[in-house]
Structures are given as structure tokens and as C-alpha cells.
Amino acid sequence: MASLPARSEALPRRRPRLGRQARTRLLLTALMLPAILCTAVLVAWPIAKLVQISFYELRLAELMRPITKPWTLANYTAATGHPGFVPSLAATAVFVFAGTAAALAIGLATALLLDLKLAGSTLFQALVVSPWSVAPAIASLIWMFLLNDQFGLVNYLLLAAGLVSAPVPFLTSPDVAIWAVTFATAWKAYPFFTIMMLAALQSIPHSQYEAAMMDGAGRIRRFTAITLPGLRGFLRVTVFLGLLSQFRNVESVLVMTGGGPARSTETLAVRVYTETFQYLSPGRGAALGVLTLVVAVATTLAFLWATRKRADI
Amino acid sequence: MRRRLVPALQAAALLLAGLFAILPLYWMAVTSFSRANAVLTWPPRLLPDLDGLTLDAYVAVLTGTSALRWLANSTGITVASILVALAVSVPAGYALSRSRGREVQMLGAVLLISKMLPATVLLTPLYVLARAAGLLDQPAAVVLGNLSFAVPLATWMMKEHFDKVPVDLEEAAWIDGCSRLRGLWSVMLPQARSAMAAVTAYVGVVSWNDFIFARTLLTGGDSTTVTVGAAMMIGEYNIDWPRVMALALLATLPVLGMFALLHRQLMRGMSSGMH
């Protein structure tokens, strides 16, 4: 009773304004609803489910039933204590860092070349970017064939150039396979860097170069004093996105080697798959999945924190 | 001397870059038009024997395997993913662009999370979901998988577009007696054509290229997509490379076509951070 007068006092004064605002808000929320539903069901719920699964020792078939077993940390100790765990971290590091470095190097070089606008640049731009349009799984098939140790084109070219004396067993030797897979992935990944770097190069005002030339700056000086600083912001974001995408990539490895030989090409993200669907241990797979998630979130937060004052992401 | 050397070196480097990009694709095409035994000869012939070229591999793949079904499945999944992503992301992108507050930050966070998640992390839960919903081995399951990554980014792309459309434009329509929803439909939607093309291109490429969802949520055989189908041809004892490469080429052509058609939109999508 006591609260009633207060409400009846407030209502008539606010209603006309609030009514329209509330209706607009309702409409906007309704328009957002399908997207919210999608992300709730397809992103949020799966993550929650993954965390839950990681705390139970289940077989694939048991996933469908209500869980009656007690929760345990066994999956985490089994996954991290596995003799293959540390090697898989090393494989992940090679795949992510060497893969991104190679893609960046090729991407930056091609972008600089295309930015020169030599004759036929548009044609070359289309050519240089074309690997992007090949599906990762299909690119893997092509590279499996190219890297074949009996009749592969890469081995032929290496032999013909005298760089090796015998065909390299790229995909069947545990020491070489991770590098072969990484390089093959870089072929598919570098056009993204080309396009981003080209956009960055074209955003550098031409007048800066002209001013530097007036001052007598040479080619190299212009590159280090104008081009590189002009690229920095783009470079930071592009490398970050490249690292994330390489970290996420599973198709390339799964198709080319299936994680082998001797599980030598199992990156963290691939291991989540093989543990769950090949070794049929969803709990261990989920534990690795949670670890993967933690690594990704930590890296992202660190990146955002490091670039917090900049507006370019 | 130096004046001539530098341009020559630049041209040579550009040529080399072009070769590096195109050689694997060239090799795929040449192999797909070769006979199975011609592929296994050493040394490999860089320039193919023109008389030896044949369509045998294509005929074999299209009549001897379920390749046509796989291509049809991929097409269906891709079209459905595009339509649902557009239907969900256009209204949401508009609403986010016109509302201030926490929603926008939330979307940013969701987008970031969905961007760094490896698909394998979502795979087990989505497998559980698909099985519970009776969608296992149904194309719809793969569509859901694609949407888990497509919806956040598509929504963000639409929001960024609507951010650039002045509110005045809409307000003029409201004054003319349009309802807000009507204004969205008849004023904003035609404005958003290029952004919708970018979303179409992005979701189309991601869905067509998907491997991991189709591999896990479909049982293989006739129900699977072309990327998985092509990879399945590797499992056999004797890999018939011309056939594998023929199917690989067939799987690549639609994306190349889309690339040629939507070149600009894809570039734009790429520079807003898609892969």
C-alpha cells in the first residue's frame, strides 16, 4: 500500500516518453532475438557443455544420457600427463608461429610487389590471391600430391635444383611432416596477408614518399622510415588474426596426415578431435578443448590489453 | 645499369610470386586431365603431352562415385547457411547499430570468442545437440555448425554497415508515415545490398569450404559434402590421383567463380577480418 502513491505519481509523468522508447527498445530486442538465440545455442551452450564433459569420464555413447558418474579431474591429468601432450604443444608452436611467419613473409613480399603497380598488376593480383579460394581440405589434397615422395612435383624440383640428393619423405617422416604441413598451410593462408598489407600500403599517403625523396632519402631509407611505420597498426592486427586462424585450423592437418605419422602433426586443436573421435575419449578431448580455449582467450586478452589504447581493432 | 636492374628484379620476383600461387592449381588441373598411369611417371612432365589429355577422370568421378550427390549436398548446405545467416544477421545488425549500451560490447566479445574457437572445440557439443535433435546425418546439422561461426561475424559486418547509414534517412521515412519495421524493409534494406553481398560471399565460402562439420555430423557415403567426399577418395589403397584432382577442381570452381564475381565484397570482408 505504501508504495502505491509513489508509483501512481511517477507513472503519468514518465509514460509518454518511456512508452515510445520502450517500444523502440522492444522492437530492437525482437530484431536481435534470432541472433541471440543462435549464439546462445551454437556458441554459449556448446562451450558450457564442453566444460561439463571435461569433468566426467564418459564414452561417446554415454554423452546422450544424463550423467550419473561423479565428477573428476582425471581427464585433465590424463590429457596433460599423456606422453604425446608436450610434443603436441611443440607441434602447435611450429604450426602456429612458423606458419604465420611464412604466410606473413610471402604476403608482405607480394603486397610490396603488387604495390609497385608494374605492368599486368591486376592480373597478378588475381593470380597471387587465388590460393585463398581453395578450400583448406582441397588445398591439403593438392599438397599431398605435390609432396608425395615417389612422384611428387616438389621432390622433383628439389632434386632437379640439386638441393636434395634423395626424395624427402615429407608426409611420412615424423621429423619433417609438421614442417611440410605448416608450409602447405602457409600457401593457403598468405593471400589474406597480401590483401591486408596491400590495403595498408595504399593507405600511406603518397606525399610522404615525395617529401622523403625531396630530402634525398633512398629506397631503403624510405622503406624503414615511412613504409614500416605506416604498416605497423595493420601489421599488428593482421598478425594477430593470422595467429588465431592458424591456431584454429584443423582441416589442413586432418586431411594431409590425420595427425600422423606417429601423432607427430597433432596440434592442440587436432588433438581435441583425435582424442574424441578416433580414440573415443570425449572427456579427454573436452579437457584438451578447454585448455585450447584458455590459451586462445588468454592470448586474445593479452593482445587486447597490449593494444588497449589504440582504436584499430 | 642499376636503373634497369631493379625493375627487372621486381618483375622477376612478381613472376615468381605468381608461379608460387598458381603452380599447385596448375598441377591439380593438369593431373585431372591425365591418365592414371601418366601421373606416376618419373620425371613428372611439367608441360603435359597434349595428346595424352583426357576427360576420363571426370567421367569416372561423375559416374562411378557419388560426386554429383556430394556437390548437390554442398550446394544445398551452402545456400541454406547463406539464407539463414542473412535472415538472422540483417535485423540483428540493424538493431545493434541503432541501440547503444552493453549489447554492442557483448556482440564484440561473442565475435571475438567465435573467431578464436577451433571448430573441434564445438564439435562434441554440436554432435550431442545434433543427435538429440535427430539431425545427425542431416544437412541441417552442418548448417548449424556453419552458423556457429557465420552468425557473429555476419551480424558484425551488417552492424558496421548500418553504422554508416545516417539515421536521417530513416527518420525521413518515419515522418512520411512509415513504421520503423517498414522503414527497415523499404529504406534500409536496399541500402544494405553491398553489405549483404559481402555476407553472402563470406558465409558462402566458409560453408562450401567446410570439412570438419560435414565429416563429423554426417556419416559419409551419399549424404556427405564434396570436400569430405574428395578426402574420402584418399583412404583407398591405390589413390587414383587424376580422379581426386578432378573432384578437387570441381569443388574449387564454384569458389573461384564466386571470387571472380564478388571480388570486391570478398576483399572488403577480408579486410574486416574474415578468413
A278 Cβ contact list (under 8 Å, min separation 6): A259
Output the pLDDT for position A67: 83
B258–A contact, CB cutoff 8 A:
yes
B9–A contact, CB cutoff 8 A:
no
Q: Same domain, yes or no, for A36 and A128?
A: no
Q: What CATH number corresponds to the domain at position B215?
A: 1.10.3720.10
Q: Which long-range contacts (CB under 8 A, 24 or more apart) does B183-188 make?
A: B184/A31, B184/B91, B184/B94, B188/B94, B188/B162
Give the residue carrying C-alpha cell 566426467.
A56
Q: Where do the H-state alpha helices sit in A40-173?
A: 45-54, 74-81, 85-93, 99-115, 121-129, 136-146, 153-160
CA distance B207 to A90: 31
pLDDT digit string (tens) for A9-37? 444 444 445 577 788 888 888 888 999 99
B181–A contact, CB cutoff 8 A:
yes
Residue A65 within any structural domain of the chain: no
Domain count, chain B: 1
Residue A313 within any structural domain of the chain: no
Cell of A118: 608494374
CA distance A80 to A22: 52
B91 Cβ contact list (under 8 Å, min separation 6): A31, A32, A34, A35, B184
- Is there a contact between A43 and B148 (Cβ–Cβ < 8 Å)? yes
CA B71 to chain centre: 14
CA distance B59 to B57: 5
Residue B2 within any structural domain of the chain: no
Using the predicted structure, report yes or no on whether residue A162 has a pLDDT greater than 60: yes
CB contact under 8 A, A153 and B129: no
Using the predicted structure, report yes or no on whether residue A1 has a pLDDT greater than 70: no
Instruction: Among A249-263, A283-297, B179-193, name the one with the lowest average pLDDT.
Output: B179-193
Residue B151 within any structural domain of the chain: yes
Which amino acid, residue A56? Y
Q: How confident is the model at residue A6 (pLDDT cuts 50, 70, 90)?
A: very low
Which of B96, B116, B243, B266 should be substituted to probe chain A, the one whose Cβ sees the most A Cβ atoms within 10 Å? Answer: B116
Q: How confident is the model at residue A3 (pLDDT cuts 50, 70, 90)?
A: very low
The domain of A41 spans 3-54
Residue B188 within any structural domain of the chain: yes
- Is there a contact between A27 and B180 (Cβ–Cβ < 8 Å)? yes
Domain count, chain A: 2
Residue A101 within any structural domain of the chain: yes
State the virtual CA torsion across A67, A69, A73, A79 in degrees, nearest 10. Answer: -70
Output the pLDDT for position B275: 44
Using the predicted structure, report yes or no on whether residue A165 has a pLDDT greater than 50: yes
**Nearest chain B residue (CA) to A129:** B21
Shortest Cα distance from A142 to chain B (angstroms)? 6
Residues of B in contact with A140 (CB under 8 A): 231
Mean pLDDT of chain A: 86
Residue of A151, A272, A292 with shortest CB distance to B39: A151
Output the pLDDT for position B269: 61
Output the pLDDT for position B268: 64
pTM of the predicted protein model: 0.88
Tally of CB atoms within 10 A around A11: 10
Residues 45-74 of B with CB under 8 A from A: none
Output the pLDDT for position A228: 86
Residue B25 within any structural domain of the chain: no
Q: Same domain, yes or no, for A233 and A96?
A: yes
Residue A61 within any structural domain of the chain: no
Cell of B91: 535485423
CA A182 to chain centre: 13
Rg (chain B; Cα; Å):
23
The domain of B89 spans 60-271
Q: Same domain, yes or no, for A29 and A97?
A: no
Using the predicted structure, report yes or no on whether residue A166 has a pLDDT greater than 50: yes
Output the pLDDT for position B188: 82
Output the pLDDT for position B127: 92
Output the pLDDT for position B88: 95
- Is there a contact between A127 and B23 (Cβ–Cβ < 8 Å)? no
Residue A60 within any structural domain of the chain: no
Residue B102 within any structural domain of the chain: yes
Residue A75 within any structural domain of the chain: no
CA distance A122 to A129: 11
Residue B135 within any structural domain of the chain: yes
Output the pLDDT for position B225: 95
B110–A contact, CB cutoff 8 A:
yes
Rg (chain A; Cα; Å):
27
Which of B23, B81, B94, B121 should be substituted to probe chain A, the one whose Cβ sees the most A Cβ atoms within 10 Å? Answer: B121
CB contact under 8 A, B117 and A272: no
Residue B43 within any structural domain of the chain: no
Q: Measure the N-to-C terminal CA separation of chain B; round to a whole number of Å.
A: 43
Q: How confident is the model at residue A5 (pLDDT cuts 50, 70, 90)?
A: very low
ipTM: 0.90
pLDDT digits (tens), chain B, 275 positions: 566 788 888 888 888 998 999 999 999 999 999 888 777 777 888 888 777 788 989 999 999 888 999 999 999 999 999 999 999 999 999 988 888 777 777 777 777 777 778 888 899 999 999 999 999 999 999 999 999 989 988 998 898 888 888 887 777 777 777 777 777 777 788 888 888 988 888 899 889 999 999 999 998 889 999 999 999 988 766 788 999 999 999 999 998 888 777 776 666 666 555 44
Residues of A in contact with B251 (CB under 8 A): 135, 138
- Is there a contact between B99 and A25 (Cβ–Cβ < 8 Å)? yes
**Nearest chain A residue (CA) to B252:** A134
pLDDT digit string (tens) for A217-250? 888 888 888 888 888 888 888 898 899 889 989 9
CB contact under 8 A, A50 and B124: yes
Q: What CATH number corresponds to the domain at position A199?
A: 1.10.3720.10
Output the pLDDT for position A63: 84
Q: Where do the H-state alpha helices sit in A168-309?
A: 174-202, 206-214, 219-222, 228-248, 251-256, 268-273, 282-306
CB contact under 8 A, A250 and B7: no
Output the pLDDT for position B179: 76
CA A222 vs CA A197, A207, A211, B134: distances in Å: 17, 12, 10, 62
Q: How confident is the model at residue A68 (pLDDT cuts 50, 70, 90)?
A: confident
- Is there a contact between B139 and B73 (Cβ–Cβ < 8 Å)? yes
pLDDT digit string (tens) for A81-108? 999 999 999 999 999 999 999 999 999 9
Output the pLDDT for position A14: 45
Q: Is the Cα dihedral A81, A85, A87, A90 positive or negative? A: negative
Which amino acid, residue A191? P
pLDDT digit string (tens) for A114-144? 988 887 778 888 888 889 889 999 999 999 9
Q: Is the Cα dihedral A295, A301, A302, A307 positive or negative? A: positive
